[in-house]
Amino acid sequence: MFVSTKGLNSILENPSNIVSILRYRGQNQPNRQSHIYLEDRGIEPSVLTYQALDIRAQAIASELQFYGFCGERALLLYPPGLEYISAFFGCLYAGVVAVPAYPPRLNRSMFRLQSIIADVQPAVILTIKSHLEKVKHLLAGSLQLNVHWVATDDLPNSLAAAWHEPVIDSDTLAFIQYTSGSTGSPKGVMISHQNILYNEKMLQLAFEHTEQSIGVGWLPLFHDMGLIGNIFQPLYVGFPCTLMSPVDVLQNPFKWLQAISRYKGTTSGGPNFIYDLCIRKITPEQRMKLNLGSWDVAFTGAEPIRSETIEKFAEVFKPCGFRREAFYPCYGMAETTLIVSGGYKKNQPVLQKVQKEALTQTRVLSANQDCGDEQIQAFIGCGKPLLDEEVLIVNPKTATRCLSNEIGEIWVAGSNVAQGYWNNTEATKQIFQAYLADTGAGPFLRTGDLGFLYDGELFITGRMKDLIIIRGRNHYPQDIELTVEQSHPALRPGCGAAFSVDIAVEEQLVVIQEIERAYLKKLDVDEIFNAICRAVAQQHEIQVHAILLIKTGSIPKTSSGKIQRYACRTDFLSAKLDIVAEWKLSSKKSNLQSQFLKSNLYEHLCSLTQKVMIPNEDKFALDIQSFGVELIQNTIITWLKTHLAMHLNISPDEINMHVPLADYGLDSSISVSITAELSEWLSCELSPTLFWEAPTLEILAQYLTDNIVSSHK
């Protein structure tokens, strides 16, 4: 397969940095659209042309150059929007190393952001004017005294006249992409201009992009998939990309597919979970409004790709014009800039069925006709290595290549492999500088992922490094284990394990934790379970599926005292743990809905709702005075308690209106789901971050009541 890049290469003659591409397009294609951002709440889309982006980047760069920040690091703390793109290129134009991150939020842990700041030591922090004071306040105790702040949207375009182009070559460090680092030692992947350009060439080859392509993206721009795929790739090839807020899409996935339909998007995608979310939440009535016939690259990666999801999505959205062959499974990571392998655009996803029993022996045997369904494991192929990249399957113990029918660690070499980890020589040597023991070939990147090659196709079978991936986000088990053991004094330090299991085609978190011997006779298990769930949600924004408290000294460990997470997972699945107490989300979930529908609280909600809602309509009545403010507030309180309880799979009686909302262990998915339901019920627009920022349900109910009353006066 060959995709012509003649137009790009003949004009730019193989650019050595990404800045020269935008400079060319700004000067020669000034009015062509670079990016469109879809604002929520009916606001007209914001548009960036190549010329506008070029000028904004120069203006921001001149400010950074004025203060002498060339070669320094700049921390980018932006909400979703086009100003982030301008700021990122402003850093590149100034020779400043960009460090993308997400701005801190009220009521959420700032551990990861604080770790990034401590590691990268930024000289300047960039954000927008409306966020400046809030971010300053939240980070007041985390920064060195001399850090400089810039609200980039406050800088006039006239500053562009003072910009001078810095000296940048292919090896110049462009940005640092922080992964979900382990406790106390976050890892910043150092991405050069050469890494970006080579990976963009790989993406163009893989997706067969041309200037006629149209991108639609919702992935976070501070994440490698959003940054490399939705900012740099459209610029590299020369096609427009429409962007959306990740929270808006999680809240209402119909908006994503609606944007693809409206803008005739050809390329869009995300982790496996987003396709599942579309299947569950987009109604038949909404599907009738979609035309997905233009969508020919529906990429999926970043977490285990499930054949069930591909088949179901293709079936559900076939009437909308979606074609199964549009699915494009691929594989990559931040350490390889983004993509490692991908297939052929017009081919169907490759499905390989193997024998489960052989997998336990790290062998690959094709399933035959005599195998029952319970003996078969199906894997989706993630394509083949692109360009001159080399991918090997290596025995991690012997550092020698595996046989063709063996599972091993995936090792990668190529110009897309990053320079290493920022300020971490030991980890760089261990991960980025691996050599084969028998031939001395190398260096290779050790991905920590397990897989096999079959007819040149790469299949991912698991993770050697215990990484937990839930909803496309990486979580290191040691981070979660530390959070758990510190959540309650009855929990024994250094004696817990966190891992994920596949429940109903979705990764779920399981926690196993030893109890201190002194607490065994006076154990308040409900208090401990609540403390663990609350702490994990606050610190990591994920929900715990199961917690098993086990006897002192019974958790599987190595001879040197290290937790054997794989053995813990095996014992959990085979019910071999020495359990003191157990809690599972599913144990309440199965009958909670029916219990709720029969409850007095539900009847009370129905009674209140009938009094304040317009008959036969799903919205609040306009005549507030007929019912009184107190009744309105009571109805909202009852709605909040019942729906929060259902999402958390607990009894409404356990909801206390006066305790911090963060104490209930709301993860981001639950927060945006409840907000979407509340917004629909009240027939008004609500901020997607409403449940993250509200201190308590009581204050939230008062806020909603005041706004409803004032809007109907």
- Residue 562, classified by CB atoms within 10 Å of its CB into exposed (0-12), middle (13-18) or buried (19+), is exposed
Residue burial 307-332, b: 16+ Cβ < 10 Å; e: rest: bebbebbbebbeebebbeebbbbbbb
Q: Is a pLDDT exceeding 70 seen at residue 12? A: no
Can you give 623-690 as a three-state secondary structure string? CHHHCCHHHHHHHHHHHHHHHHHHHHCCCHHHCCCCCEHHHHCCCHHHHHHHHHHHHHHHCCCCCCCH
pLDDT bin (cut points 50, 70, 90) of residue 510 is very high
Residue 180: what pLDDT? 62
With CA atoms as reference, report the closest residue to 647 among 617, 673, 611.
673
Highest-scoring range by mean pLDDT, 268-277, 367-376, 612-621: 268-277
Compute the average pLDDT of residues 380-389.
94
pLDDT bin (cut points 50, 70, 90) of residue 616 is very low
- 599-711 fold: 1.10.1200
Cα separations (Å) of 239 from 199, 214, 236?
17, 6, 8
User: C-alpha angle with apex 464: 462 to 469, nearest 5 degrees?
Assistant: 60
Axis crossing angle, helix 18-28 with helix 82-94, rounded to the nearest 10: 110
CATH number of 468-587: 3.30.300.30
Share of the chain above pLDDT 90, in %: 50
Q: Do residues 51 and 252 lie in contact, with contact meaning Cβ atoms separated by under 8 Å?
A: no
pLDDT bin (cut points 50, 70, 90) of residue 138 is confident
Rg (Cα) of the chain, in Å, rounded? 26
Kindly state which CATH superfamily the domain 351-463 is placed in: Luciferase; Domain 3 (2.30.38.10)
Residue 38: what pLDDT? 94
Contacts of 2 (CB under 8 A, 6+ apart): none
pLDDT bin (cut points 50, 70, 90) of residue 53 is very high
Return d(Cα 251, Cα 670) in angstroms, integer. 9
Position with higher pLDDT, 224 vs 107:
224
Q: Is a pLDDT exceeding 50 seen at residue 503? A: yes
Residue 607: what pLDDT? 53
Residue 56: what pLDDT? 98
Q: Is a pLDDT exceeding 70 seen at residue 588? A: no
Residue 311: what pLDDT? 93
Residue 368: what pLDDT? 76
Return d(Cα 570, Cα 158) in angstroms, integer. 63
Q: Do residues 208 and 326 lie in contact, with contact meaning Cβ atoms separated by under 8 Å?
A: no
φ, ψ of residue 311 in degrees (nearest 5):
-65, -45
Average pLDDT, the chain: 85
Q: Is a pLDDT exceeding 90 seen at residue 530? A: no
Q: Is a pLDDT exceeding 90 seen at residue 57? A: yes
Return d(Cα 619, Cα 454) in angstroms, integer. 56
Q: Is a pLDDT exceeding 70 seen at residue 407? A: yes
* Domain layout of the chain by residue ranges: 351-463, 468-587, 599-711
Cα separations (Å) of 137 from 105, 122, 143?
11, 17, 11
User: C-alpha angle with apex 646: 643 to 652, nearest 5 degrees?
Assistant: 80
Strands (E), 198-338: 215-217, 241-243, 267-270, 297-300, 327-332
Residue 615: what pLDDT? 42
Residue 666: what pLDDT? 67
Q: Is a pLDDT exceeding 70 seen at residue 3? A: no
Residue 432: what pLDDT? 98
Q: Is a pLDDT exceeding 70 seen at residue 320? A: yes
